Amino acid sequence: MKNRSLVSITDYSRDEILKILSLAAEFESKPSQNLLSGKVVATLFFEPSTRTRLSFESAVNRLGGSVIGFTDSSSSSVSKGESLKDTIKTVSNYSDLIVMRHPLEGSAKYASEVASVPVVNAGDGANQHPTQTLLDLYSIQKTQKNIEKLNICLVGDLKYGRTVHSLLMALSYFKPVFYFVSHSSLQIPNEYKIFLREHSIEFYESAELREFLSVADIAYITRVQRERFSEPMEYEKTKNACILRGEMLENTKSNLKILHPLPRVNEITTDVDNSEKAYYFTQALNGVFVRQAIITSILGLV
């Protein structure tokens, strides 16, 4: 992992993923240390974010490092027409590691090719969100005491949801059974079904959440990604298709945990928040420890 960019979750082997999860547990027991003293991490967010940016920044601050960057590219020289390449080459001179979110699929890979420091993909369009996946895996392992052979129900926008795409690929190292629930126009793309068949991973599809909820160990709910739709009416047609309500948790497994990468819009009703099966806010907290593990591994400090 040392000095390597993290662009796609497939950049990490099964053993490397397990190493990050183990390190994250160590950071959870001791989140404030001085490991990043003298190090500068740049956070370049060309798209909005609450959790990813702030948990990265919290992770760095708690380890004694410094953060530079922007939260809105209109406040950078990109607004004057500067290219992504020139921006990344410049920021490489000011930092030891770049964390970047960008609306274009493939932008993180491109940035990693032109940067002189490692680049961490904080989400590139509908493609990948590998650090979210690592915190999702950490949350799964922590709540289930195990990560192998689980029944994983992926719900919502399976077409545009980058967290779903990264998570599916990473979990495939651990022999899950997948249950996909979505509106017919937001089904998991074919390329991922081909990937699952090639890896002999069982999967089932439905438009009805109740059909699979009773067998799930993990229900991973996602919002419909309004910003990815070119046609607003298409969003309107799909936005209420899969909603988890409190009463639907009756007759579910005792170990079921509800995960969501957040932000939530309407796809989990707020009465679910009171259930001991709701885990999404703790999941967001886990992002700090997992990102501490990622940064210190890449910088070769652990």
Q: Give min distance, CB of 123 to ligand CP, in A.
A: 6
Q: Is 264 in the site for ligand CP (CB under 6 A)?
A: no
Kindly give the interhelix angle for 280-298 and 130-144, rounded to the nearest 10 degrees.
Answer: 120
Q: Is 43 in the site for ligand CP (CB under 6 A)?
A: no
Among positions 19, 51, 193, 228, the unique one binding ligand CP when judged by CB under 6 A:
51
Q: Is 92 in the site for ligand CP (CB under 6 A)?
A: no
User: Please, which residue, 121 or 132, has the CB nearer to ligand CP?
Assistant: 132
Among positions 212, 261, 278, 293, the unique one binding ligand CP when judged by CB under 6 A:
261
Among positions 49, 66, 144, 214, the unique one binding ligand CP when judged by CB under 6 A:
49
Residues in the chain: 302
User: Please, which residue, 99 or 196, has the CB nearer to ligand CP?
Assistant: 99
Q: How far apart are CA 84 and CA 54, in angstroms?
A: 22
Among positions 5, 52, 166, 222, the unique one binding ligand CP when judged by CB under 6 A:
52
Q: How far apart are CA 273 and CA 244, in angstroms?
A: 11
Q: Give min distance, CB of 264 to ligand CP, in A.
A: 10
User: Which residues in 165-224 contact ligand CP (CB under 6 A)?
Assistant: none
Among positions 32, 34, 37, 50, the unique one binding ligand CP when judged by CB under 6 A:
50
User: Please, which residue, 19 or 51, has the CB nearer to ligand CP?
Assistant: 51
Give me the helices (H) in 30-67, please.
51-62
Q: Is 263 in the site for ligand CP (CB under 6 A)?
A: yes
Q: Which residues of 246-267 are buried (b: 16+ CB within 10 A; e: fewer)?
A: bebbeebeeebbbbbbbebeeb
User: Please, which residue, 92 or 280, has the CB nearer to ligand CP?
Assistant: 280
Q: How far apart are CA 261 and CA 290, in angstroms?
A: 14
User: Please, which residue, 106 or 263, has the CB nearer to ligand CP?
Assistant: 263
Kindly state the tokens that stand for 280: 């999404």
> Is the bond preceding 263 in cis, omega lying within 30 degrees of 0?
yes
Q: Is 262 in the site for ligand CP (CB under 6 A)?
A: yes
Q: Tell me how far CA of residue 110 lies from CA of 95, 114, 265, in angstroms.
A: 18, 7, 31
User: Please, which residue, 196 or 242, has the CB nearer to ligand CP?
Assistant: 242
User: Please, which residue, 49 or 66, has the CB nearer to ligand CP?
Assistant: 49
Which is it for strands 66-70 and 119-124: parallel, antiparallel or unpaired? unpaired
Q: Give min distance, CB of 164 to ligand CP, in A.
A: 12
Site string for ligand CP, 2-41 (x = CB under 6 A): ----------------------------------------
Q: Is 269 in the site for ligand CP (CB under 6 A)?
A: no
Q: How far apart are CA 115 and CA 92, in angstroms?
A: 6
**Cβ-contact 133, 163 below 8 angstroms:** yes
Q: Which residues of 76-85 are buried (b: 16+ CB within 10 A; e: fewer)?
A: bebeeeeebe
Helix or strand holding residue 99 (H, E): strand 97-102
Q: Is 132 in the site for ligand CP (CB under 6 A)?
A: yes
Binding site for ligand CP (CB under 6 A): 49-52, 123, 132, 261-263
